[in-house]
Structure formats: C-alpha cells, structure tokens
C-alpha cells in the first residue's frame, strides 16, 4: 500500500473506532445489569452454530478410515501427529467463502445470531492473530480474515456476531500439542495427561487471543468456550477469563463452559448465581422440562459438527422445527449447527433445512421470538409458548376430529389461527378442558399455531 493510502486508512480506522465504540474501554461503555445484558439473547431464541476449520478439508476421512462421531475431531480420531496435521491449515483455501451469503442464509432461516469456531481443538485460528502464526493469514494460502468478514457481514445484516473458542489446543506445545511428538495421547482425551506449561499457554496465548477477538471485531455477543474438561484447566482460570472478558466488553455473554464446576446436564442444575458463566449448554439433547437458569441447546442437523459427507443421517426439517418449538416452550435457545465444507459451502442438505425453517419462522415467528416458557405442562398434541397476555398453542399432532383440547385453566378472550387472524375460532370451556373448533386440516404443517388472547 502506498504511504498516502495508508494514512487515509489509518485516519478512517481511527474515526471508525471512535464512532462505533469498537475500541471499548472500561469507562466508555455503559455496563448493563445482568437482565439488560441477557435481554437480546433471551429474545433471540434461534442461532446458527458454525463449525469450520482445517478439519473441513478432511471431511472425517483418511484413506479408507472414517472417523466416528464429529469430524472436527479428525486430528485426534484419525491419529494425525502435530506435524502431519499441519498440512491441512497449509491447504486451507476456501475460495467460495462468502460471508454475506452465509449470513443471509442464517437470517432467512429466522436465526438472530451466529457463533463460529474461531479456533477449535485443532488450534488453527480463523482470524489474523498476532499471537500466532497458526492462523488463516500466516499458515494458510487463503490470507483472508474469516472472523473479520463474517463480523462485518453480521453487523450489516443485523445479526449478532459471536465466537466459539476452544480451551483445548492440540497444536500448541504448552497445551496438548507436544506431549507425545509422534502420537498425542492427550488427543484421546485422557484426563490424566497434563502439561505443566499449560498456565503459560493460558496467560500468553489463550488470553491474548481472546482479547484480539474482543478488541478487533466490534461487539461480540457471546464468547462460547469449550474444552474445559482437560485437567490443566482450573476453576480459577475460568473465573479469571470470565472477568477478563467482561472488562474488555462489559456486556458480552459467556457460556458455562468457561467454568469447570458445572453440575447435571452440562450446567443445567447449577443454581442461578452459582459461578458457571451466563447460560447452560445442553448438547445434542433437550431437557424434559424448563429450568431456572438460562440455557441454550446446541445440536447438529446430522451427527457431526464439522463437515462429514459420509454422515447422511439428517434430521428432517419437520423434526428441527418441532425441536425449536420444544426448546422455546421450555425457556431455552436453539443453536443449530452447520458444517461448511473446505471450499466454503454449506451442505445442500443443510441449506434445504434452513429454508424450510425460514418458511415456518417467517409465518410463526410471533410465537417464538421474545416468547417465554409454557406456564402449563406439555400437552399431548404439542407445546405452548407465552408472550404477555397471549398464549400460543403449537400443534404438532393435528386433531383428527377438528377439536383441539387446551388446558382447562386457560381464560381466553379470543382464539384464532396465528396465520389467519381475521377469523375467530369457536372455543368452549368445559370442566376438564377448553375445546377449540379448528379446521379439519392442519393449515401450517408441520406445526400450526393457535393464538389465544387471554382474559385478565
Ligand atoms: C465439544 C467439542 O469437542 C465438539 O467438537 C463440538 O465443538 C461440541 C459443540 O463441543 O464437545 C462436547 C463438549 C461438552 C460436552 C460434550 C461434548 N458436554 O459437556 O457434555
């Protein structure tokens, strides 16, 4: 770049920093209360998880061997040494990556935030890290800052940008990277394996990397940690990290995997206020009932987080829509995963499911966004959600006799189909239920929403 251009850029960047609050300092940013800070997240309900890294090139296959489970664990499961594995970051060149297109697919699906793996267990960083050369700018031929492009695209589209960061690092010599030069037993997740230098990795690598993510990419909605199970990581480190993040960006939300002391279904049984980050993270499962803490269920569309073409075990769109409703009816958020391939494309099967979910959320979003958990036990035909003086009955199994039976305690003022507000449905209260006269066919399958305006 010419010197004059460089000066112009410098001035522009300085101006931008001042105007957008990108360079957040302790004094300038208003510190919100916990409820204010969590408000956007509690309303959002539906987000996109993106698992993308050098493992996306591998697709879970090495010769004839196929990794079991998540293909983002390729380095571990396919027995790569640290040196052997480095070939993949050196190949990372996803020329079809289009941040705006990714963000549009999330937004059209009805998702309100995106969480991307800035660095997964493999250790390869998808941003321009000054702390490391094992990143997209220095090791990979791609030389584009993925985190930058995605954060800018999110901001443009009004999607909240969030980052996943792995505490586990199979590449870093002071983490799990150099324990066994030719074969890393820690990669097989043996909790007895420790690296006495881990505190140095924590202090001189992990924290500075997290700081880069929180300093150079505008507001970060959530920092989503993972890998806290390794013995080297301590509760004290978790506390330090949590406070460190809140000092840089006071209003950022942090998941419970920042902490080691979680109980039950990945922190779901932690009492409110007990240190465990800001929300619980049940993985690949939905709790039976709601719970007193904030929580987010993360889930894959097939059985893998990272790209794995051999996994064709896709959940149906109908199933995914019902899962979204189920989660919201229990007061949670749904973080649904995409594993883009090594070229930067979403799998076609994922795109189709996102589109189906978008068609449904576009019509029925009123019953999802900003809604809270059902005040009633789950009915046989589906789920309830609630917002102010309105109750929503999400019907999965449409009644064959055209009579929908609601909870007897409901005091209704007016009942309609959510997608047909002009036509009031007849409703009748009996001693055991409230019966609503609905059309014979489900108009918005797989889930039709009946809107019940409540009497005071
Ligand atoms: C982790 C990762 O190992 C995996 O690759 C993926 O990124 C996933 C979202 O998170 O796997 C976990 C982490 C935590 C639990 C289970 C699997 N847990 O607490 O039950």
Show the DSSP H helices in 277-390 as ranges.
317-329, 348-364
Task: Compute, in angstroms, the gap from residue 257 CA to the centroid of ligand 1.
Answer: 10
Residue 250: what pLDDT? Answer: 97
**Ligand 1 near 283 CB (within 6 A):** yes
Q: Measured between alpha carbons, how far is residue 456 from residues 225, 329, 370 in Å?
A: 43, 22, 21
Do both 413 and 341 map to the same domain? no
Domain of residue 428, CATH code: 2.60.40.1180
Does any domain span residue 22?
A: no
Identify the domain containing residue 143 by its residue range: 32-367
Backbone angles phi, psi at 334, to 5 degrees: -115, 115
Separation of alpha carbons 266 and 291, rounded Å: 13
Q: Whose CA is nearest to atom 7 of ligand 1?
A: 305
387 phi, psi to nearest 5 deg: -145, 110
Do 57 and 140 fall within a single domain?
yes
What pTM was estimated for this model as a whole? Answer: 0.92
pLDDT at position 183: 57
Local structure of 2: helix, strand or coil:
coil
Say if 327 falls within a structural domain: yes
**Residue where one domain finishes, among candidates 344, 367, 390:** 367
Do 353 and 393 lie in one domain? The reply is: no
- Mark whether 360 and 424 lie in a shared domain: no
The verdict on 386 and 363 lying in the same domain is: no
Answer whether 444 contacts ligand 1 (Cβ < 6 A): no
Given 367, 392, 413, which residue is the final one in a domain? 367
The answer to whether residue 80 sits within a structural domain is yes
Question: For the chain, which residues score pLDDT lower than 50?
Answer: 1-27
C-alpha–C-alpha distance, residues 307 and 304, integer Å: 7
The angle subtended at Cα 129 by Cα 163 and Cα 86, nearest 5°, is 95
pLDDT tens per residue across span 116-132: 999 999 999 999 999 99
Report the domain count for the chain: 2
Q: Looking at residue 113, what is its pLDDT?
A: 99
Q: Give dist(CA 299, CA 100) in Å, integer.
A: 23
Residue 282 and residue 397 in one domain: no
pLDDT at 285: 86
- Residues 361 and 392 both lie in one domain: no
Q: Which of 50, 67, 70 to mutate to test the pocket of ligand 1 (most atoms within 8 A of CB)?
A: 70
Residue 228: CB within 6 Å of ligand 1? no
Ligand 1 pocket check for 122: Cβ under 6 Å: no
Give percent of the chain with pLDDT exceeding 90: 81
Q: Which residue, 334, 367, 400, sits at the end of a domain?
A: 367
Q: How far is the CA of 266 from the centre of ligand 1 (A)?
A: 10
Same domain for 320 and 287? Answer: yes
What is the structure's pLDDT at 17?
Answer: 38
| Residue 375 maps to a domain | no
Q: Which residue has the tokens 């003086």?
A: 389
Distance, in Å, from the CA atom of 132 to the CA atom of 213, rounded to the nearest integer, reads: 13
User: Of the residues 123, 226, 229, 261, which should be mutated to test ligand 1's pocket, given the most ligand atoms within 8 Å of the CB?
Assistant: 226
Residues 42 and 186 in one domain: yes
């Amino acid at each position: 770049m010419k010197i004059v251009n460089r000066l112009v850029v410098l001035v522009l960047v300085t101006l931008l920093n001042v105007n957008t609050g990108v360079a957040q300092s302790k004094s300038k940013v208003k510190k919100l209360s916990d409820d204010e800070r969590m408000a956007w997240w509690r309303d959002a309900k539906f987000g996109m998880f993106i698992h993308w890294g050098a493992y996306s090139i591998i697709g879970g296959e090495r010769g004839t061997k196929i990794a079991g489970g998540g293909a983002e664990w390729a380095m571990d499961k396919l027995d790569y040494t640290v040196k052997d594995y480095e070939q993949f970051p050196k190949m990372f060149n996803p020329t079809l990556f289009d941040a705006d297109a990714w963000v549009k697919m999330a937004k059209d699906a009805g998702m309100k935030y995106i969480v991307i793996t800035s660095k997964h267990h493999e250790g390869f960083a998808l941003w321009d890290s000054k702390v490391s050369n094992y990143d997209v700018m220095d090791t990979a031929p791609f030389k584009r800052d993925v985190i930058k492009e995605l954060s800018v695209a999110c901001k443009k589209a009004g999607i909240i940008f969030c980052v996943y960061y792995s505490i586990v690092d199979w590449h870093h010599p002071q983490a799990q990277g150099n324990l066994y030069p030719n074969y890393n037993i820690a990669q097989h997740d043996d909790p007895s394996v420790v690296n006495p230098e881990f505190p140095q990795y924590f202090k001189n690598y992990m924290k500075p990397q997290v700081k880069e993510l929180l300093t150079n990419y505008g507001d970060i909605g959530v920092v989503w940690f993972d890998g806290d199970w390794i013995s080297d990581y301590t509760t004290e480190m978790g506390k330090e990290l949590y406070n460190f993040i809140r000092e840089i960006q006071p209003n950022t939300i942090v998941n419970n995997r920042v902490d080691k002391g979680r109980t039950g279904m990945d922190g779901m049984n932690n009492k409110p206020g007990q240190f465990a980050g800001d929300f619980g993270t049940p993985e690949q499962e939905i709790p039976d009932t709601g719970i007193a803490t904030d929580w987010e269920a993360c889930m894959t569309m097939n059985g893998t987080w990272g790209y794995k073409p051999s996994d064709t075990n896709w959940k149906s769109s109908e199933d995914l829509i019902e899962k979204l409703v189920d989660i919201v009816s229990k007061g949670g958020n749904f973080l649904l995963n995409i594993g883009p391939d090594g070229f930067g494309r979403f799998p076609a099967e994922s795109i189709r499911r996102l589109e189906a979910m978008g068609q449904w959320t576009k019509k029925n979003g009123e019953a999802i966004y900003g809604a809270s958990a059902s005040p009633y036990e789950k009915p046989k035909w589906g789920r309830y959600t609630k917002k102010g003086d309105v109750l929503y009955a999400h019907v999965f199994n449409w009644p064959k006799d055209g009579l929908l039976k609601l909870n007897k305690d409901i005091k209704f003022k007016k009942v309609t189909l959510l997608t047909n507000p002009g036509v009031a449905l007849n409703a009748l209260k009996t001693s055991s239920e409230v019966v609503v006269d609905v059309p014979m066919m489900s108009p918005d399958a797989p889930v039709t929403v009946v809107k019940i305006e409540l009497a005071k």
